[in-house]
Each structure stands twice: as structure tokens, then as C-alpha cells.
A and B are shown apart, each in its own frame.
Chain A
Amino acid sequence: AQSVTQLGSHVSVSEGALVLLRCNYSSSVPPYLFWYVQYPNQGLQLLLKYTTGATLVKGINGFEAEFKKSETSFHLTKPSAHMSDAAEYFCAVSESGGYQKVTFGIGTKLQVIP
């Protein structure tokens, strides 16, 4: 079984400040990990993913995440928040292999304050 825990359903940051969205996962086998972003009334768009290899993963729009196996974490960061980053962010996990079911966290709504 696999699961995802996103700490903080709402996060507020000032424009230009560091963005940190937390994600912890549980998986009985090596996981694939994803961060998706959702804008209002739209589908989800992939920000970045970890499958194998380098544990620091860079994605679109300046976001990056680091896979830490010892901490079972995959936190999402961005050095400087932009107003356009305001959206809902979902962390997701699947078992490695590319054909397994994907489980999503509850999501974190990011608010960027001007």
C-alpha cells in the first residue's frame, strides 16, 4: 500500500519569499514521486517527477524537489515566489515500474501575498 501526506492544506508566502511545500510518502517498494499543480477549474499539470537517479529534481517554473529516502520525504521548493505560483499543489506517489496506480495527497493551496 502507498500513501501521501501533505502537511499544511494552506500555505501563504510573500512575493519573492521562499516556497516550501511538504510531502511525506509511504511505499512498500521504491517509489515514483510527483508534484502536480492545478489552477482553478483546470486539470493537473506535472511540475516535476522523481523516478530513479539524481535525488534533486528540477521542474518547470523554477520549482525543485529532493527525494530523501531516509526521511521518506519529497518536499517542493522554489527560492522566490511569484504571484503566478498561486495554485493548488498535489504530491503523488506510485510504485516504481511506471504502470502502477497513482495516489495523491490532499493538496496544498499556495497563496502568494504581494
Chain B
Amino acid sequence: GAVVSQHPSWVICKSGTSVKIECRSLDFQATTMFWYRQFPKQSLMLMATSNEGSKATYEQGVEKDKFLINHASLTLSTLTVTSAHPEDSSFYICSARRTDRANTGELFFGEGSRLTVL
């Protein structure tokens, strides 16, 4: 199956700093990637849809200036948590969907990134 790689897996930062998380589709092209946030013992909350070459589409209630998304190529999307605070601590997961003929609607997920803000 298609592989999505997310980096870093774990990151600890001080309050007020910015953290960048990368999401790469390794063996397929993805014009669209999705960023989710998962709180402990809860489901995935879609934060935004990342579109290659254009602005991301944010879900209601998600601060676009807080969570900057860049989708610079067909295989890479980045999420930057700006001026992170302890309440931003969470598990962030990216996913991608094939955009070629092999697209079956399935989402391929990265391994997730655990962010801890001190």
C-alpha cells in the first residue's frame, strides 16, 4: 500500500516557540493532504485540508494563523504550530489520498507526531 511518513514522531518544545511537522507521501502523489488532531481517548478532529499549490482549507474553529499549513509539492505538506502553548500539546496526524487512478477513497496515514509544549 501507499506510504505516508510523518516527522518528527515526538517533539518537546518550550512555550512560545514554533514547531514544524512534515508529512510526506513516499510512493505516490497527493494533491490533497489532511491534518488531524487527536486528544487523549478521543477521535480524530479534522483541522484542515492541505491543497498543493493553494491555500489550505481550515475547519471551523481552527485558527489559521496558529496552525500554518504549506503544501509546496505533490509529496510534502507541513504543519507549523506557531507560538505554541501547553494547550497545543496533542497528537497530530496527517493523511493523504492518492490522486491518480488508484484512488479508492482510502486515506493513508502518517505515524503521527506527539507534541508536548512545556
Residues of A bordering B, CB below 8 Å: 32, 34, 36, 41-46, 49, 51, 90, 92, 94, 96-102, 104-107, 109
Contacts and interface: CB of A to CB of B under 8 A. Distances in A.
A92 B111 CA distance: 18
Nearest to B10: A41
Nearest to B110: A43
Contacts of B112: 41-43
A101 to B, nearest CB: 7
Contacts of A107: 42-43
B104 A98 contact: yes
Interface of B: 1, 4, 6, 32, 34, 41-44, 46, 49, 91, 93, 95, 97, 103-112, 114
B77 to A, nearest CB: 14
Contacts of A105: 43
Contacts of A96: 105
9 contacts: A42-B111, A44-B44, A51-B105, A90-B44, A98-B103, A98-B104, A99-B105, A102-B105, A106-B42
A97 B46 contact: no
A98 B97 contact: yes
- Which of A41, A96, A105 has the most chain B CB atoms inside 10 A of its CB? A41
A4 to B, nearest CB: 9
Nearest to A44: B109
A102 B109 CA distance: 12
Contact of A46 (B1, B41, B44, B111): B1
Given A41-B112, A90-B44, A102 B6 contact: no
A7 to B, nearest CB: 14
Nearest to A103: B46
Nearest to A96: B105
A80 to B, nearest CB: 25
Contacts of B105: 32, 34, 49, 51, 94, 96-100, 102
